[in-house]
Structure 1
């Protein structure tokens, strides 16, 4: 288990390398991540390299038993490079270049940039490949901040369209360019992307932009592998969750290029980590994937889909305050440990903090580190040091553990792009179109299953078409808006073979080119789901739901929000209706037996109560029964499978009050070996997690 922090002694106000290393050793730190953001120190003058400053750090750390992950410094270019080649700066709109003064502000396809980037990569990796203290290399960092509109990129896009579609006639047909007289008679007629109104163009453009990032990182990884030792890994640090602040990134595509993917997991702390979660639609910081315990888990499960449900590294996480001067919310005692154990439970095999010390200069002065501005070890250091000792004890078990999951979520990057372009939901504050509509829908259903106590895996629709879906009893497809016929058939086959397929609003409405289907919605899913609809409506206010027949699956207060498919039942059974004078004639939720399985359609965006109720009902219908019962509402249980049929359990109390949990079996405390009989009342302190072993 890797345990450490990003370490930037070049940022520090004083030279204190030896003091830092001593504190790291005492805290159980076994690696540091260095060098990825200071190209100007690696190459202060064009063609003249200086590695003395960073070699000193790697040497001293290695001597102290601390390994290093060395980053290629390509995401923050030196001033001399921008001055010499001003055309390499990124254009975020046609004719709108960025100016020097930030980071990730470069056209990653520009020949001059690539020449200089390759030169510094080869020099740096060549220098450190033979160093015994270097265990891996990180290529670039959080790539994909901007959609590039540089002239060379636009020319490449035209070439990409020629290769993808083959002819202008095929482009015109796929994009429906008769609308607004947008037909292309010549490749030179292709209009700028930032003036585009065509959904088909948008999909092609966003896919192309993602491919540029993937191509760039594959190129870097290839150079590193050419020079590195076989035992040195390649990684990349992506933004956690939906990557909203990296619009050209695709963590799942990038993860296929590296040996072990890395991810940033930042999370909101203090009372927002309390269960049960009482937050409905809280303000979400720009750096967070969401607010709540579910959002922490979402980032872990999304990292696992990037790793094809294998292990991943957390390369950055809250060391103290995450954010800027108005966002000072350091964790409560115990929350660092609890969050780290949750990430480990879901597959993290490296826990890294950003960063070791708090910067005294620059934009991120208040994004505080393990050490504060006074360099004195305080509460964050003590909490993280205690965690380091615990993770070292658990490492042999964690290295063998495979996180369990009963429910799989299908993620669609294409649907995210399409629903950013034509958002179906209104922003809850402004009422304007919400470009994060896909993320809201996905998060709503993910949180529902999380609140129901279930464990999730994620699958990427576009990257994982060969994945065996049958191993999950329930498969949820939130807003799978862009859906090719072949992908629809794959989903239907999953249900026919015995799975419970849960489909939601907007799924299957357009094809892979973004064209609304001519078949009655939901197109190829209509017959298998046993429903059809011609109309849909946005909901200005929440609408209560009522049971159509049979068991009362919805709790009091459960409501539909923001959207309603006006479903007509063909062969499905209504489950819930809208309690509304006009829309009451339409079911909000239906279910349909399909050969050996079942397809449930959720035609609305459920509120948190309804989302949890639907999760419980769909899981029970698939035969999933909870082993742990009568749990306090603040307790979350996670499990992982070990060789020989053993289980590793994480029992967490996400609240500021102590609770007790009745054990449903005989268990052993993983750290101490203490054994507890079935029925034992396990005591959990505030913000406490206990790891247990069962045979």
Structure 2
């Protein structure tokens, strides 16, 4: 069984082969000595240089990595060895042009970047398997190697190659059996799309049918999952039992379904890149309309990324890449303020990270990522970044096993639906300010609920819908009763694609004692993206005590106010944004209404007892203040028990592997602050006792790690 060291691994991606120096042996020694001095315990190597491993077809150079592994092992530094399949060598592209990926049917991607390949093509698979076997057979037994990363940030393209499309048709034939069934299930009578044979199916380039898109996106993700699982199986033929196999996930890639992608792996890994400097400030200055991308903005978004990574397997995870220096392009240079590296790393550890690995050790002198800052600058000499991270490495060493694999606490659980997100990228319910479709609509609905909880000082667990209930029966899932014990408050916004059995499970969860919170678009369509014929939210109308068949976009924020006697505190100036469901109350208590001459006829938030539990319906995308008030009502006291904290301070709690309680407290600002300690604690880094009631001092951009 794969094992990890009993401490948080700390290190960087290391590319000795990239360094332009006359004395590579001396540079290697210097690098490794600097790593040891900074308490580095892990490096990742080898995943980006197929053309170095195999400079010509069937001509291999495998020995160049030996000095790196030997030197690392001599200094007690572990190694994660990567397979180099995401960056295809030019000779392979030249000799087998048919492996080139296509973003549109018949239009090949130009070479010169990375991930331009159709990774399903047999010619690519042949050469990829050969180089994987050569590398892993050569180094699997090296004592420094503790695990393997297969490929790198997969799922970057939606491949339109002929072979991919033909396999898609075969998949549909297997699933639906015959074209008449497909015609019926997809509603292909519309616009005269009825098929008479499977060869009639059009390619995805011009598709306008949502049902097609649902199947196409799911199929694309399965190709990525199969590819990563295929590599993992090859590696395991050589790996020692204690060595792990993973891949590093960029969670926003279009062909990634992370909870399935990680099934064939031993542990989830990902690359949480985030904006630094003022982007981590609290209170958060980021405009509400800011679109989150692969590099997030806002402290809340950093925590959300970590919770998303934990959600993949509902287990602790590895950080395979994160900001060493300024991450971006020549026009975006914002390296961290002093203290922010420590803060971000400890935030990730607080939410379950077992490794913090920076990208990367050296700042590159050439290539597309010349201005993606490493731990060492272009001079190769230690500077401010190195000093800050060396301090962090010493802290991880001091904390030891206590923080290696924390089980993060949660006040609120949120249900995530990747298929619903995919559909909303092409058929969004929301528009941008200029009236054009907003492909970020799913997160525009989901994120305000998460951010409201964060602003209220509540911690969030993210679960994928199929981890709770799998309509296909491929996963065990949870009974409603077990879910109530684990997740007493379940917030479900934007679950647009949902089977009848999923909606029935949600109703049963509330009946068993859970507090189910439904948000906009949840339950409106079935698993084929067909709008349900009954009033929304479909099979949940009785449990919720509300129904609607009318809805509207909100082109500007609408003020909201509490209903008379409402237990939900609505802050002054709270608003509804983006969306309003025209809710008709059949058997529910109105908590919040719209202050508007038209929308005021409908409630914005309702609640109803259902069995032993409760169903609350939020018919709008809550503005920041309403979202915070909603989270405070759902969970009147935060589990971390630190009480009302200054606006710049967060407290995150969890359980250590040995059961001890860990408290990680941050001050996300330039202003020093003191907060009272709620219970007797110890400083995890110094061992000093911190009694209940004592003032915990936090400097600018500071973090304290404590335990009971």
User: TM-score with structure 2 length normalisation?
Assistant: 0.95
RMSD: 1.4
| CA contact 1:280–1:608 (8 Å) conserved in 2 | no
1:9 equivalent in structure 2: 16
* Offset at residue 284 of structure 1 (A): 4.7
1:441 equivalent in structure 2: 445
Question: Cα distance 1:367–1:123, how it changes in 2: closer, same or farther (>3 A)?
Answer: same
Deviations for 1:577-613, whole angstroms, at most 9, x for unmatched residues? Answer: 1110011010011111111111111111111111111
Does the alignment pair 1:349 with 2:344?
no
* Offset at residue 646 of structure 1 (A): 3.0
* Offset at residue 385 of structure 1 (A): 0.6
* Offset at residue 363 of structure 1 (A): 0.4
1:461 equivalent in structure 2: 465
Does the alignment pair 1:271 with 2:287?
no
Moved over 4 A (4+): 282-286, 623-626
- Among 624, 628, 652, which residue is 2:666 paired with? 652
Does the alignment pair 1:619 with 2:635?
yes
2:407 equivalent in structure 1: 402
2:146 equivalent in structure 1: 135
SS of aligned partner of 1:303: helix
- Among 351, 370, 374, which residue is 2:375 paired with? 370
Tell me how far apart the structure 2 counterparts of residues 182 and 400 of structure 1 sit (CA, whole Å).
52
* Offset at residue 436 of structure 1 (A): 1.0
SS of aligned partner of 1:227: coil
SS of aligned partner of 2:665: strand
* Offset at residue 94 of structure 1 (A): 1.2
- Among 602, 608, 611, which residue is 1:595 paired with? 611
SS of aligned partner of 2:415: strand
1:334 equivalent in structure 2: 339
2:474 equivalent in structure 1: none
| CA contact 2:605–2:616 (8 Å) conserved in 1 | yes
Does the alignment pair 1:638 with 2:649?
no
- Among 482, 485, 488, which residue is 1:473 paired with? 488
* Offset at residue 464 of structure 1 (A): 4.7
* Offset at residue 619 of structure 1 (A): 1.8
Tell me how far apart the structure 2 counterparts of residues 286 and 577 of structure 1 sit (CA, whole Å).
33
Q: Which runs of 5+ in 1 are unaligned?
A: none
Tell me how far apart the structure 2 counterparts of residues 3 and 629 of structure 1 sit (CA, whole Å).
32
1:258 equivalent in structure 2: 265
| CA contact 2:156–2:254 (8 Å) conserved in 1 | yes
SS of aligned partner of 1:328: coil
* Offset at residue 399 of structure 1 (A): 2.5
Tell me how far apart the structure 2 counterparts of residues 231 and 670 of structure 1 sit (CA, whole Å).
29
Does the alignment pair 1:580 with 2:585?
no
- Among 325, 346, 361, which residue is 1:320 paired with? 325
| CA contact 1:287–1:323 (8 Å) conserved in 2 | no
Deviations for 1:193-241, whole angstroms, at most 9, x for unmatched residues? Answer: 111111110000000000000000010000000111112110100014x
Decide which moves more: 522-531 or 272-281: 272-281
Q: Which runs of 5+ in 2 are unaligned?
A: 1-7, 470-476
SS of aligned partner of 1:157: helix
1:419-438 alignment, distance < 5 Å: 419-428=424-433, 430-438=434-442
1:526 equivalent in structure 2: 541
Deviations for 1:392-436, whole angstroms, at most 9, x for unmatched residues? Answer: 1112101363211121111111111111121011124x3311011
Tell me how far apart the structure 1 counterparts of residues 19 and 526 of structure 2 sit (CA, whole Å).
53
SS of aligned partner of 2:85: coil
SS of aligned partner of 1:541: strand
Deviations for 1:358-388, whole angstroms, at most 9, x for unmatched residues? Answer: 1110000001100110111110000001000
SS of aligned partner of 2:646: coil
Tell me how far apart the structure 2 counterparts of residues 253 and 438 of structure 1 sit (CA, whole Å).
20
Does the alignment pair 1:295 with 2:301?
yes
SS of aligned partner of 2:271: strand
User: TM-score with structure 1 length normalisation?
Assistant: 0.97
Question: Cα distance 1:481–1:689, how it changes in 2: closer, same or farther (>3 A)?
Answer: same
2:130 equivalent in structure 1: 119
* Offset at residue 644 of structure 1 (A): 6.6
Tell me how far apart the structure 2 counterparts of residues 130 and 675 of structure 1 sit (CA, whole Å).
44
Tell me how far apart the structure 2 counterparts of residues 384 and 681 of structure 1 sit (CA, whole Å).
27
SS of aligned partner of 2:320: strand
Deviations for 1:115-156, whole angstroms, at most 9, x for unmatched residues? Answer: 000000111111111111111110001111110100000100
* Offset at residue 100 of structure 1 (A): 1.4
Total equivalences in the alignment = 685
Decide which moves more: 97-106 or 400-409: 400-409
